[in-house]
């Protein structure tokens, strides 16, 4: 069975619901994972998604900040949410797709939103950066984020770190910029390795080539300057990574009216 899954930091789902609808009508992914929804669960636009053909929804949201959601055309067998760093700041939601979705083997999906970390890359003076580093450490040690050897699992979302040299527009100039500092990169890769995850985006675009999913609002002309970063990721367990048959980054979405600074990333897998 072919399944398409999209991850997108939407930067307010209610503000940009029309852009979400535009994307959904064009691409029709089976599952859409959103980050930074900035919406409490009781205000989430469930009816709009249902009209769009996505009646199955898993939420972990709060007013004004953070928040994650999974909306799906396929029913869930199970949903859950985990908290990190002893905070209830709505940065994870998970679902299991299985028999009810028509899959012969169940697949676990983790939707994550890692803290951005503020502007100063020094945890001794920047509590946001300290929180980010602690969060990445917990990702590394969290048992529920470790895929069993034969488990079909995906971890995706806005991980807010561009770990590879060509995940940023200038490796040299970004080394002291939050999202590409060595300590962040090391901790994210450690979490990836501890969980046994495969970076499936880089299976389609080699690590020697530039790959971005985010362009700053601060750029006067984001497209001309093209100073992007790959902050959004899709990781898969080894057994499932071999079944991922396609990956696209919807770069054009960054040029839509009142866009998010992130763009959708979609993977296709034979589940």
Complete domains list, the chain, with CATH: 2-270 (3.60.10.10)
User: Contact 24/45 with Cβ under 8 angstroms?
Assistant: no
> Is the predicted pLDDT of residue 271 greater than 90, yes or no?
no
**Residue 149's pLDDT band (cuts 50, 70, 90):** confident
DSSP-assigned beta bridge partners for residue 92: 112
Please tell me the distance from the alpha carbon of residue 121 to that of residue 107, in angstroms, as a whole number. 36
Higher pLDDT among residues 148 and 160, named by residue: 160
CB-based contacts of 47, cutoff 8 Å, min separation 6: none
Please tell me the distance from the alpha carbon of residue 116 to that of residue 161, in angstroms, as a whole number. 8
What is the share, in percent, of the chain residues with pLDDT greater than 90?
Answer: 94
> Is the predicted pLDDT of residue 186 greater than 90, yes or no?
yes
Predicted confidence (pLDDT) per residue in 71-127, tens digit: 999 999 999 999 999 999 999 999 999 998 989 899 999 999 999 999 999 999 999
User: Contact 39/13 with Cβ under 8 angstroms?
Assistant: yes
CB 213: neighbour CB atoms within 10 A? Answer: 26
User: Contact 270/236 with Cβ under 8 angstroms?
Assistant: no
DSSP-assigned beta bridge partners for residue 198: 236
What is the share, in percent, of the chain residues with pLDDT greater than 70?
Answer: 100
Is the full-model pTM beyond 0.95? yes
């Amino acid at each position: 069975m072919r399944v398409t899954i999209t991850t997108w930091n939407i930067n307010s789902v209610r503000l940009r619901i029309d852009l979400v609808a535009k994307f959904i009508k064009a691409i029709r992914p089976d599952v859409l994972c959103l980050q930074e929804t900035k919406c409490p669960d009781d205000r989430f636009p469930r009816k709009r998604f249902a009209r769009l053909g996505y009646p199955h929804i898993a939420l972990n949201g709060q007013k004004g900040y953070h928040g994650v959601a999974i909306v799906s055309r396929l029913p869930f067998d199970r949903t859950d949410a985990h908290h990190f760093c002893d905070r209830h700041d709505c940065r994870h939601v998970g679902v299991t797709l299985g028999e009810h979705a028509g899959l012969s083997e169940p697949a676990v999906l983790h939707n994550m939103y890692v803290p951005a970390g503020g502007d100063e890359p020094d945890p001794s003076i920047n509590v946001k950066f300290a929180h980010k580093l602690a969060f990445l450490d917990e990702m590394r040690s969290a048992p529920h984020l470790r895929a069993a050897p034969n488990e079909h699992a995906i971890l995706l979302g806005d991980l807010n770190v561009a770990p590879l040299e060509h995940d940023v527009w200038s490796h040299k100039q970004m080394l002291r910029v939050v999202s590409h500092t060595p300590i962040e990169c090391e901790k994210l890769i450690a979490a990836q390795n501890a969980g046994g995850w495969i970076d499936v985006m880089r299976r389609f675009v080699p690590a020697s080539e530039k790959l971005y999913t985010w362009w700053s609002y601060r750029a006067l002309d984001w497209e001309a300057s093209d100073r992007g970063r790959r902050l959004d990721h899709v990781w898969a367990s080894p057994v499932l990574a071999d079944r991922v048959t396609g990956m696209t980054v919807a770069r054009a979405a960054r040029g839509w009216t009142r866009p998010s600074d992130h763009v959708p990333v979609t993977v296709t897998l034979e589940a």
